[in-house]
Homo-oligomer: A and B are copies of this chain.
């Protein structure tokens, strides 16, 4: 079932201990779409400026991605982010952010984008997330990502947006911050009373956890010796998760389905961080995903208890 994603399309300048890239393709909607399109068609809604190139559109459309709602704003500049990662890649500093066309962005969804049965609200202003969610009242699975900024300056609108979705995907520290509860499980269980039935806690290099009213599931990150650039890992994770669910939504949203989606998400994210930006995922194959899924299974298996 088709997926609509609303979020940023960006140019990223990134420096890590392993190198640097200037103005490469980035943005939450970009990373999400590249991952989710392994599973289903993705319709991207987001603005770009006049400086946005054909080459970048081609990359976004590597697989089955509908770019009709990528709005090119005349005279505008594409959202730009410049960041630098520290020694262990766990800390990063934002050196520059230029909102460009993202400032004053009002999502315009075509008939086609509104007809999707799955919706991913990437990290944007919570009122916009709610407004878009309202344009797809019949969507069967809606997931939302956000960030600490909105918890700090727009908590009430964010809570209202979360109330209207099925699934919240957030960093574990942000789940604690959002609820004021230091314990992950307690925090997630509080949010489950707000509306969502699925909470995904992203834990960076430690993996991710899935909390529903009936179940808890946790998965380590796929172990890598070479991590080059973590930018976009969270959105790639979300793309794997939501994409897998979209491809199986004819089934019940069972615990087994959600866990399998977590495994796919983990694997997609592991490829993302192995090279800069979209470089690795854009040439990724289904065979490579399957091989790493099998490895992830073997990494987490134990018996004899």
With A183-B227, A185-B225, A227-B183 in contact, do A305 and B263 touch (Cβ < 8 Å)? Answer: yes
A255 to chain B minimum Cβ distance, whole angstroms, is: 9
Q: Give Cα A300–Cα B225 distance, bound, in whole angstroms.
A: 23
Residues from chain B with Cβ under 8 Å of A305 in the complex:
260, 263-264, 290, 293-294, 296-297
Residues from chain B with Cβ under 8 Å of A290 in the complex:
305
Q: Judge if A182 is at the interface, Cβ distance under 8 Å.
A: yes
What string of 1s and 0s marks CB contacts (under 8 Å) between A233-254 and chain B?
0000000000000000000000
Q: Judge if A194 is at the interface, Cβ distance under 8 Å.
A: no
Q: Judge if A1 is at the interface, Cβ distance under 8 Å.
A: no
Residues from chain B with Cβ under 8 Å of A206 in the complex:
203, 206-207
Interface stretch of the complex, out of A160-168, A214-222, A279-287: A214-222
Q: Give Cα A209–Cα B301 distance, bound, in whole angstroms.
A: 12
Q: Judge if A57 is at the interface, Cβ distance under 8 Å.
A: no
Q: Judge if A89 is at the interface, Cβ distance under 8 Å.
A: yes
Choose one: B176, B220, B256; the contact of A207 (CB below 8 Å).
Answer: B220
Choose one: B182, B207, B225, B257; the contact of A17 (CB below 8 Å).
Answer: B182
Q: Give Cα A264–Cα B302 distance, bound, in whole angstroms.
A: 11
Q: Judge if A68 is at the interface, Cβ distance under 8 Å.
A: no
Q: Give Cα A173–Cα B1 distance, bound, in whole angstroms.
A: 43
Q: Judge if A104 is at the interface, Cβ distance under 8 Å.
A: no
> In chain B, what residue has the closest Cβ to A267?
B305
Residues from chain B with Cβ under 8 Å of A294 in the complex:
305
Choose one: B182, B225, B227, B302; the contact of A263 (CB below 8 Å).
Answer: B302
A287 to chain B minimum Cβ distance, whole angstroms, is: 14
Q: Are B220 and A220 in contact (CB under 8 A)?
A: yes
With A88-B182, A302-B262 in contact, do A220 and B209 touch (Cβ < 8 Å)? Answer: yes
- Apart from A88-B182, A203-B206, A206-B206, list 4 A-B contacts with CB within 8 A: A217-B300, A219-B302, A259-B301, A263-B302
